[in-house]
Amino acid sequence: EVQLVESGGGLVQAGGSLRLSCATSGFSFGDFAVGWFRQAPGKEREQVSCIRFLDNTTVYSTSVKGRFTISSDKVKKTVFLQMSRLKPEDTAVYYCVYLIACNYNSGTWGRGTQVTVSS
């Protein structure tokens, strides 16, 4: 059974940093992908980043490119999202999602972790 558990969220001031972790189980890192999505009140769900395990190809949304970095530990089967220079508009619940491909937005979701960025 595919399982994903997010952690690392919290309250941070604008300009600060957080590192989110997604502990996974039930699938091989040799296949498919894991994406980070966020959902904020009044906003559409957004894929902020994704990593394809076949070749470690990564993608980022325009809103976070240059500030966020996705990475993985294939031994521990954990995916990370390093978030730097955070902005209030980054406030959202962040989810990691097991995906067939980075451009496929239907998959297995974790429960999410709250990120709040204050001014």
Segment 30-69, tens digit of pLDDT: 778 999 999 999 999 999 999 999 889 999 999 999 999 9
How far is Cα 77 from Cα 59, in angstroms, rounded to an integer? Answer: 19
pLDDT band at 70 (very low <50, low <70, confident <90, very high): very high
How far is Cα 77 from Cα 97, in angstroms, rounded to an integer? Answer: 13
